[in-house]
Amino acid sequence: MARWKPLRMGFAVINEGRPSLDAVETAVRVLEDDPNFNAGKGAVFDTDGEQELDASIMSGKDEKSGAVAGVHNTKNPISLARMVMERSRTS
């Protein structure tokens, strides 16, 4: 992975006028897709030889958050965490 790729990709999203949350998700997805980074595709295997992935995301604008833990077969857990944030009811 190019050293600055996540930053450049997130910055490009901001330059398009999209929300900062989109930029954060984009940058983290780049990291998750890199087998050399300890997240997503490059995550460490557990004792059963599986990758258990965690992710969380929060919007400072409205203080909503979403998280997932111990998920399997999920390419980009950050996107799943965002889905949890956006589709969960608040009290």
18-22: average pLDDT: 96
List the structure tokens of 79: 């996107």
- pTM for this prediction: 0.90
Q: Do the beta carbons of residue 23 and residue 30 sit within 8 Å?
A: no
Residues 6+ apart with CB under 8 A from 36: 1, 42
Q: Any idea where the domains of the chain sit in the sequence?
A: 5-87
pLDDT in tens, 33-82: 998 888 888 888 889 998 899 999 999 999 999 999 999 989 999 999 99
Helix (H) or strand (E) holding 5: helix 5-15
| Bridge partners for 67 per DSSP | 56
